[in-house]
Amino acid sequence: MLRLLPLCLLLLPSAGAAQQGEIVSWGSNGSGVVANTPNGRFVGVSAGWVHSLALRVNGSIASWGNDGLGQVSDTPTGNDHAQVAGGGFHSLALKNDGSIVSWGRDNAGQVSNTPTGTDFVQLDGGGWHSLALKADGSLVSWGFDGTGGLISNTPTGADFAQVAGGDFHSLALKTDGSIVSWGLDSSGQVSSTPTGTDFVQVAGGSDHSLALKTDGSIVSWGRDDFGQVSNTHAGNDYVQVAGGSDHSLALKADGSIVSWGRDNYRQVSNTPTSTDFLQVAAGYAHSLALGEPDPTLSVTNLVAGQVASIQVEACAPGGRVYVAYSLTGGGPTSSPYGTLLLSPPYNALNHRRANGAGIAIWNVPVPPGTTGVPVWLQAWDQTAGALSNGLALTVQ
């Protein structure tokens, strides 16, 4: 049922090439699926029914939320994963070597029937089934076969580019930009699948589906009792879609998120309003997004007569980073860069280039005889156009 990455990221050979961010969750907090959202830097997010998963920068997996069937506690260790996907009460991960691991609920073989091999490039989880795309463009499905032949009616051929799972239906995007759907058709989630060859991503909700078109517009079809289809947002500035049980989300080109459909747990009305998001995902009644982190400034060993270490993390790799300081106060001061947490006059250290991990470091001698002097600092990532947190410190 539930999503993960924009199509442009789905087929990346390694997670290291993807954009990194921090996770924001909202909506129903059943089993702590919102409150227990982990901190840190991640490159992918996905949601199950009442649990969520995220792929860390180092290739390890974080899981949280409902754990009644091991969908969290049985999460595999290691840092060799390239993608994560949540099913109803089971989870999946694609490894760097192209193999798949699954865990959680296994009442219909959605775990024990996981295919072997090392030639998979993308996967997704449905309610009680799973799907995977192979490197040759063919599809594999396993788990509950149910009404409509979720497994047995999986289309053949080697011309597919992406898969997505709904509750009891499945979708696949073909390389020519057309969509095929199969499985349960109780609300037209299969029979109302749009025609044409101008689609770039598909996503499944519980009994509805969504697709992103090449012009950046969204098409939805299937069950519509909460406006999850009829309230689909217009416009052509979208880059990703995601389907929850009875609600939907879309990520806009400017990094903002729109949501529509059922709002019984404020999974729509609590949608965050900032414009720094990179990915969205949806569960039963909760949603999550990967947001671009602000630079984080830290200082160690600020001791008179010694060398202080100043570090700024979460910067644009390779970009220029500046650190400014003030001896007169912590602002706020309006500036062309945003609100500075410094009072003028202030000075800037020579800029540094962030390394490939987005970290810039200064080693700065602290003048002797400055013990007890207060200093306020803040960093600016020129490439991202983002200010860091401010620090108010005293020389030791």
- Distance CA(370)–CA(180), nearest Å, equals 70
Burial label for 230, CB within 10 Å (0-12, 13-18, 19+), is exposed
Counted domains in the chain = 2
Which of 136, 114, 200, 188 is closest to 164 using CA atoms? 200
pLDDT tens digits along 355-372 = 988 899 999 999 999 999
CATH classification at residue 38: 2.130.10.30
Q: Are residues 166 and 315 in the same domain?
A: no
Q: What does the mean pLDDT of the chain come to?
A: 93
The tokens for 291 are: 């947001």
Query: Where residue 286 falls among pLDDT bands split at 50, 70, 90?
Result: very high
Which residue, of 242, 274, 291, is where some domain finishes?
A: 291
The amino acid at residue 131 is: L
* Spatial CB neighbours of 83, under 8 Å, sequence gap ≥ 6: 4, 5, 10, 15, 44, 55, 93, 94, 122, 123
Asked whether residue 1 is domain-assigned, the answer is no
Q: Are residues 309 and 255 in the same domain?
A: no
Local structure of 8: helix, strand or coil: helix
User: Where is average pLDDT lowest: 62-66, 80-84, 89-93, 317-321?
Assistant: 317-321
Query: Where residue 18 falls among pLDDT bands split at 50, 70, 90?
Result: low
pLDDT tens digits along 384-396 = 888 999 999 999 9
* Spatial CB neighbours of 86, under 8 Å, sequence gap ≥ 6: 2, 46, 47, 48, 49, 51, 52, 53, 71, 92, 125, 281, 283
Cβ–Cβ < 8 Å for 182, 169: yes
- Please determine, for residue 34, whether its predicted confidence score (pLDDT) is greater than 70: yes
Q: Domain range holding 343?
A: 296-394
The tokens for 253 are: 């080109």
Asked whether residue 2 is domain-assigned, the answer is no
* Spatial CB neighbours of 65, under 8 Å, sequence gap ≥ 6: 30, 31, 32, 33, 36, 48, 50, 51, 52, 71, 72, 283
- Distance CA(125)–CA(2), nearest Å, equals 7
Which residue, of 291, 312, 346, is where some domain finishes?
A: 291
Q: Are residues 74 and 88 in the same domain?
A: yes
Higher local confidence (pLDDT), 10 or 65: 65
Which of 285, 287, 191, 195 is closest to 240 using CA atoms? 287
Span 44-68, average pLDDT: 96
- Please determine, for residue 3, whether its predicted confidence score (pLDDT) is greater than 50: no
- Please determine, for residue 5, whether its predicted confidence score (pLDDT) is greater than 80: no
